[in-house]
Amino acid sequence: MICRSTPAFGMGVLFSGISSWIYPVDSLRGWLQYCTMRVVSSTSLERRAFMPDEHPLKRWFPRRKVSLPCLVSWQDRLLPARTVDVSYAGIGVFLSEAIDVNVEVLVQVPEGIRLRVRPVFRHQENSENFLVGCKVELIERGEQQWMSLCYVPRW
């Protein structure tokens, strides 16, 4: 837990370059009281740091809605699919048939992007489509194109 505060008496240690100060305390109880006060007050300040309509990003790698045709292959199967969303760490695709979540899958997206992914969830959207969420294990080809496709500006 990081306690945020302004420096008092010029003592404190800057923690990993994040304008957070950690102070020595005499006891565990004193440290917990200090951190509780700082966390309560800092969260209200952090909430005010954003505009009323703006929400902080809740993911390390936010999803970007992208609908592109792609090819999904695993074992001896090859299916046309459509992307739903992409991020640096994952991709969501619509498939016409169910896929086992314990297999390694190859996803080929236009612009020469080829990803080796691992399905992490499967959800049946309707009688003929399945939404499959995949974690990117390896970018085999088109790394720069993949990075620009997944880019989400943080304003």
pTM for the full predicted model: 0.59
Q: How far is CA 74 from CA 13, 97, 120, in A?
A: 51, 12, 15
Q: Looking at the predicted structure, is the pLDDT value of residue 113 above 50? A: yes
Transcribe 40-81 into DSSP letters: HHHHHHHHHTS-TT-----SSS--EE---EEEEEETTEEEEE
User: pLDDT digit string (tens) for 23-58?
Assistant: 444 555 554 555 554 444 444 444 444 444 444 555
Q: What is the mean pLDDT of residues 75-103?
A: 90
Q: Tell me how far apart the alpha carbons of residues 102 and 133 are, in angstroms, rounded to a whole number.
A: 12
Residue 62 above 60 pLDDT?
Answer: yes
For 153, the 3-state DSSP assignment is: coil
Q: Which is nearest to 131 in space by CA: 104, 89, 79, 93?
A: 93
- Is the domain spanning 64-150 CATH 2.60.120.10? The answer is no
Task: Name the more confident of 137 and 128.
Answer: 137
The pLDDT score that the predictor gives to residue 30 is 56
Q: Boundaries of CATH 2.40.10.220 in the chain?
A: 64-150
Is-contact 66 58, C-beta < 8 A?
Answer: no
What are the φ and ψ backbone dihedral angles of 102, each rounded to 5 degrees? -105, 20
Residue 38: the pLDDT is 45
